[in-house]
Amino acid sequence: MRKNKWIALFLIILGQVSGNVFAEQVTVGEISGIVMLNKDGVFVKVGTGMELEVGDQVYVLENSSALLLQGNDCAARLNSNELFKLDKSDLCAQNSNTINSQGPKLVAAIGLDEPTSDSGDAGSNTELPEDQQSGTEGGRVFSGLAAKLAVPATLTGAVLFSTIAGGGGVGAISPE
Amino acid sequence: MIRAYQSILFLVALGLIWRIISLGFSEYFSTDVATKNIDTVLKWNSSNSQALFSKSLSQLSSDTNFFTSSLTESIISNVSDSRGLVLLAEHWAEQGEVAKANKAMRLLGEMYPADAKVNIAVASYFYKNNNITEAFQHWSQAMTRSHHFDTILFEFIYSQLNNRDMRAAILDAAKQASKWWPRFFAFAIKQSNKHDIEIVDALYDARLDVKNSVEPAIRRQYIRYLVKRENWQKAYMVWLSGLSLTERESLGYLYDGGFENEFDHYGFYWHAYKNKAAKIDRVRSNVGASGNKALKVTFLNKPTAFHHVRQKTLLSAGRYLFKGKVKKDGLKSNRGVSWRISCGRKAVLGESTRFNGMEHWQSFEVEFKVPEQNCNMQDIWLVTKAKNKSDFKIKGSLWFDDLSIVKLH
């Protein structure tokens, strides 16, 4: 009984270790614009085909994008102004470890194979929300200010001209 | 023959004199139109536009036919005066003749494109009729022509940003790079501290969409806005995107530890604030240093709580080493000067040895640890060590070069 426990523990550890050791390399598939890589404090410009290691930080500058690939069934699209840190060797298992609030949009296949039910961990292909900053709705109405500029419904010359007045003799004429 | 010619000339001269006199009287009385001298003015000059305009106004409530006819006369007699057409258009709108009113308002916009007041009147008309797109075009024209209406128009537009059309219009203005737009952006940043309307990010993104790169002044304002909101990572990304190729070569956990690039007072550059007791310069490196430049701080023997050279960093949790080279050039201080690393300005993470005295270029280093919690941004700053007032008085210079931060594994 005690022996079985040790075997089970050994298998679990082996599974974890082999998962890390045999995971395929994460590479930069395609780049648009300027993408920088911070490798242990040294910044370099990212080029296509560059390999990433755990701990690397990818900075996608304004109006730029990058596609990270791992094997044939995992890809991550990094968008403009996004900072991505590769925390795990398994790119598609990392969707909860993104630095930027936008997160990488993990797409199982971008120009590659369609995702299939047996392609691995279903959760790993979860798409994170679109750019959250563009969803800024709401606000306040300052009704007093609206009245300052909107010409009142009832036509009165004085009010109308006071709207556009500010000199030039316009305000000197009174309809009364 | 000559006599007849002279008579004609005399008659013409007489006519001219009469015209001059009548116009003169008319103008004289028209300065007092408000005090009911309208009829006197019109007696001397029946086409005095100001008098006709006032006369039509006086008949507005009692005789609309007279109102429109005298207003039309007023418009014809002086097309450079926009008021008549504004009033007429408003009158038509009031009477339900919307097509005519719209046409008149659009005509006004075309006739007086450079007149900010007319544009605001036209915009007000279209806004009242729920045509925000057209109203916005005229506000935009008014703001392009004049700063005079900035405050009131900016406040009004900002207050209406929950309206989808208004929001779309202001974002579109960002894309069209309207002349007034940077002023509105600055206004929106100021307002964002007071109100809960989230527009600044969208404005910046809209500008970015079309121009591919925003103006340095806009970027600077936006970074300051993000820093104020402690949105460090976004601030860093926006700052990073604005760096020149040369500046990008100086990136690292610490930016430009060799002081090769200019100081600036925003983002993640080296900040060097003015101080009466010290002179902060980037000077040519000398033997023992590297690159073209080094930092030189000269203390002027005046009391100061010095903390005027600093840089923000965004280090993730872990152990780091801050290192560099220092040259002490006759520094006389009770307790010395040192580099301090802290979370914001609060928790001190590490501090270098105190620099004092005279010594050629030497290396220094300090190890520090960034905690997991509550330390998203760190400050690296040069500070005086002091316990009492006399410690603040410092004389001499310090040179620094090759500063860097490395991660310890």
Asked whether B329 and B361 are in contact (CB, 8 A), the reply is no
Gyration radius of chain A's alpha carbons: 29
Q: Among residues B323, B314, B310, B326, which one has the least CA distance to residue B251?
A: B314
- The alpha-carbon gap from A34 to the nearest alpha carbon of chain B, in Å, equals 8
φ, ψ for residue B257 (rounded to 5)? Answer: -65, -10
**Predicted local confidence at residue B47, as pLDDT:** 65
According to DSSP, residue B349 is labeled E
Please tell me which residue, B113 or B57, carries the higher pLDDT value. B113
pLDDT tens digits for B255-281? 999 999 999 989 999 999 988 889 999
CA torsion through residues B389, B391, B396, B402, sign: negative
Is the Cβ of A147 closer than 8 Å to some Cβ of chain B? Answer: no
Lowest mean pLDDT among A154-158, B312-316, B339-343: A154-158
Asked whether B207 and B175 are in contact (CB, 8 A), the reply is yes
A163, pLDDT greater than 60: no
**Predicted local confidence at residue B83, as pLDDT:** 77
B29-58 average pLDDT score: 62
**Predicted local confidence at residue A34, as pLDDT:** 93
Q: Return the residue of B nearest to A99 by Cα.
A: B233
**Predicted local confidence at residue A9, as pLDDT:** 64
Looking at the DSSP bridge assignments, the partners of residue A27 are: A51, A69
Each domain of chain B, given as residue ranges in start order, spans 271-408
Q: How far is CA B110 from CA A166, B92, B118, in A?
A: 21, 19, 10
Each domain of chain A, given as residue ranges in start order, spans 12-134, 143-168
Q: Among residues B79, B74, B44, B77, which one has the least CA distance to residue B59?
A: B74
Q: Return the residue of B nearest to A82 by Cα.
A: B237
Report the C-alpha gap between B36 and B384 in whole angstroms.
77
Q: Return the residue of B nearest to A84 by Cα.
A: B233
To test the contact with chain B by mutation, choose from A65, A84, A149 the residue with the greatest count of B C-beta atoms within 10 A, namely: A149
Q: Which of B118, B152, B238 sits opposite A149 (nearest CB)?
A: B152
Is the Cβ of A164 closer than 8 Å to some Cβ of chain B? Answer: yes
Tokens of A83: 């900072």
Report the C-alpha gap between B393 and B68 in whole angstroms.
81
Do B162 and A172 lie within an 8 Å CB cutoff?
Answer: no
pLDDT tens digits for B78-98? 666 777 788 888 888 888 888
Do B197 and A140 lie within an 8 Å CB cutoff?
Answer: yes
- The alpha-carbon gap from B298 to the nearest alpha carbon of chain A, in Å, equals 30
Half-sphere exposure of A96 (CA within 13 A, CB side): 3
CA torsion through residues B86, B88, B91, B97, sign: negative
A79-103 average pLDDT score: 69
Q: For helices A157-164 and B83-94, what crossing angle results, to 10°?
A: 130
Residues of A with CB below 8 A from B240's CB? 36, 59, 61
A33-62 average pLDDT score: 93
Superfamily of domain B271-408: Galactose-binding domain-like (2.60.120.260)
pLDDT tens digits for B114-158? 888 889 989 988 998 888 889 999 999 899 888 888 888 999 998
Is the Cβ of A81 closer than 8 Å to some Cβ of chain B? Answer: yes
Asked whether B255 and B273 are in contact (CB, 8 A), the reply is no
**Predicted local confidence at residue B211, as pLDDT:** 64
Asked whether A59 and A38 are in contact (CB, 8 A), the reply is yes
B307-322 average pLDDT score: 94
A27-49 average pLDDT score: 92
B54, pLDDT greater than 80: no
B57, pLDDT greater than 70: no
Please tell me which residue, B337 or A9, carries the higher pLDDT value. B337
Do A174 and B34 lie within an 8 Å CB cutoff?
Answer: yes
Asked whether B270 and B256 are in contact (CB, 8 A), the reply is yes
**CA angle, A107 as apex, A105 and A112 as ends, to 5°?**
145
To test the contact with chain A by mutation, choose from B33, B80, B225, B240 the residue with the greatest count of A C-beta atoms within 10 A, namely: B240
Lowest mean pLDDT among A60-74, B80-94, B263-277, B386-400: B80-94
Residues of A with CB below 8 A from B53's CB? 173
Report the C-alpha gap between A161 and A156 in whole angstroms.
9
Do B159 and A153 lie within an 8 Å CB cutoff?
Answer: no
- The alpha-carbon gap from B81 to the nearest alpha carbon of chain A, in Å, equals 10
Q: What is the residue type of A2?
A: R
**Predicted local confidence at residue B18, as pLDDT:** 64
Do B54 and A173 lie within an 8 Å CB cutoff?
Answer: yes
Do A164 and B90 lie within an 8 Å CB cutoff?
Answer: no
Q: What percent of chain B has pLDDT over 90?
A: 41
**Predicted local confidence at residue A123, as pLDDT:** 33
B390-409 average pLDDT score: 91
Q: Which of A42, A61, A154 sits opposite B240 (nearest CB)?
A: A61
**Predicted local confidence at residue B288, as pLDDT:** 72
Q: Return the residue of A nearest to B194 by Cα.
A: A140
B201-217 average pLDDT score: 84
Tokens of B15: 């006519």
Residues of B with CB below 8 A from A166's CB? 117, 148
- Position A132 confidence tier, pLDDT thresholds 50, 70, 90: very low
